[in-house]
Structures are given as C-alpha cells and as structure tokens.
Amino acid sequence: MLTRRTFLTAATATLVAPLAPRRSWAINTLTLGDLRIDTLSDGNLLLPGSFIFGDIPADDLAPIIAKYGISADQLTPPCNVTLLRDGTNTVLFDVGSGPDFQASAGKLSEAMDAMGLTADEVTHVLFTHAHPDHLWGLLDDFDEPVFPNAEYMIGQAEFDYWTDPDTVSTIGEARTTFAVGAARRLGAIADSVRLLADGEEPLAGIAARLTPGHTPGHLAFEIAGPTPVMILGDCIANHHVAFERPDWPSGSDQDRALGAETRVALLDRLVAENFVLTGFHLPGGGIGRAERAGGGYRFVEEV
C-alpha cells in the first residue's frame, strides 16, 4: 500500500480582485494494487457548534474542545469527496454542495480541474446520503446532471425518505430546506437512479452497508481487499467527539440514539479488522484509520 498527500492549487479570479487568493486542496491518494482512491476537497462548511454539541453538557465537552483546539461556538469541517479509479470505472462517492448551499463549499469542480479530471469521465456516482453537502452538487444551472455519463446509485431507504411528500413537514423546521432540495434533485434522476439494499454490491468489490442514524438510509461503502477500505460519509462525522465518545448523541444526526449506536458498532469493527477509512468531514483529506485510545478511539491520518 502506498499513500501520498499532494497539494494542488488553482487561482480564483474575480472582477474586482486581480490578485485573488489562491485556493489550495489537500488531495490524499491511496493506492491498492490497480485501485487508486483520492479524496478531493469540496471546500468546508461553517456550522454553529450547537449543531454538533447541543446535547452535550458543557463540562463534559470542555476537555475534548481543549484537546483538539476547536471552538464550541463555530466549526469549519472540511468536505472530502472520495474518488475511486480502477482502470475501468471512475467513481465518485457523493458530489459535494454545488453553488446553492454555503459559499465556503461547492468547490469540487475546481478540485477536479486542478487534477485534470473532467465531469464526462465519471462513470458512477454513489451517494452515502442526501444532505445538501453530499447531494446538492448533482445538478447544473439548467437542472441537468453535472456528470452526464454517470450511473447514479443511492440506498433504497434513503431515496424513499427524501422523496416522500410527508418528509418536508415532519423533518423539523431547521432541515426543511434539506428536504425540499433533496426531493428536487433526486426527482431529476428518479427514472434512472439505481436503488441499493444493505449488503448489495453496486460494483464488483464494493458493498453497500446500511449505517443509519445520521439519516434514515445512510450508506457507507466497503471496498474489499487485503487492505479493506470503508467510505464513511457522515456516519462518523468528525474527528473529535465522534471518536472520543461515539456513544454521545450528535446534533447533526436526525436520529441521535440510532446514530450513536451505529458509530459504536462501526468503530469497533473498523479497529478489529484494521480498515483504512475515508471520512467526508475528517481532517487532512480524510484518509486514515481508527485506533483505540483510552475508553474511546482516535483518528490517525494516513501520511
């Protein structure tokens, strides 16, 4: 196994700033035989700390905040889109935010340009779930799929939830726009999208694993091999509380108790079977491993 971290930069120009700042992407590469996995940056999110930490007593949270040097008031998690190439298939796991969610995100097309990859080359898109930062990059300004040659796949339970007309009125006010945006985008591919069951193989050597709680039908994707890889999406959504105390509820999960149950079981398996993992919101490009640490776990980046 060979790991490599590279940094690609691309100038961003504006009409009013001829000397615009240069945007940088950390692109991690994992090579396993003929299989190459990259993580590409879609930018980052800006979130109030309460979105993650709202249910955690301040006294319990304080040591973790101090240990990781993060703010309890505002978080800026990275967004890492995973790309897999095997010589035949070019597969994206999620498509980022697109231009309509947060200004700090939606940078996937720039990252792809920087590494010389075009949208036309993408053969498959596998969605972990339908939250905006994972799905809203699906359509262009004309409501056509950004990746015109790709086959799209998502979990059956996830698709059913977000396309149910009742979801918009039951999801809660804070996530109403999530439901409207997901229904619109999934509706655009409804006639052609492939719906996946737990354990099904969307492609040879890749298995869908139901990991619910963050959303009702969230999928992780397991890549088989001598060094197994798990593409997590958001079932383990940060490198601090989610690893240190996976049993604690997270405000980002739609079903907080189920999300915690999923994290506990998954981290135990990731360590026991020595998985490499890619995490959408994990630092340093998101490729690493989970290790036991005290009564919890820690995320160790691959470098």
In a domain, 15, yes or no: no
In a domain, 196, yes or no: yes
Give the CATH number of the domain where residue 150 resides: 3.60.15.10
Q: Residue 40 has what DSSP assignment?
A: E
Range of 45's domain? 22-301
252 and 52 Cβ atoms separated by less than 8 Å:
yes
In a domain, 1, yes or no: no
In a domain, 111, yes or no: yes
CA atoms of 301 and 281, how far apart (whole Å): 13
- What would the pLDDT profile of 135-185 be if each residue is shown by its tens digit? 999 999 999 999 999 999 999 999 999 999 999 999 999 999 999 999 999
13, 227, 276 from 138: Cα distances, Å: 24, 31, 27
Q: What is the pLDDT of residue 244?
A: 98
The mean per-residue pLDDT over the stretch 66-90 comes to 96
In a domain, 164, yes or no: yes
Tally of domains in the chain = 1
- What would the pLDDT profile of 210-248 be if each residue is shown by its tens digit? 999 999 999 999 999 899 999 999 999 999 999 999 999
Count other C-beta atoms under 10 Å from residue 65's C-beta.
18
Question: Burial level of 298, CB count in 10 A (0-12/13-18/19+)?
Answer: middle
- What would the pLDDT profile of 190-204 be if each residue is shown by its tens digit? 999 999 999 999 999
In a domain, 245, yes or no: yes
In a domain, 258, yes or no: yes
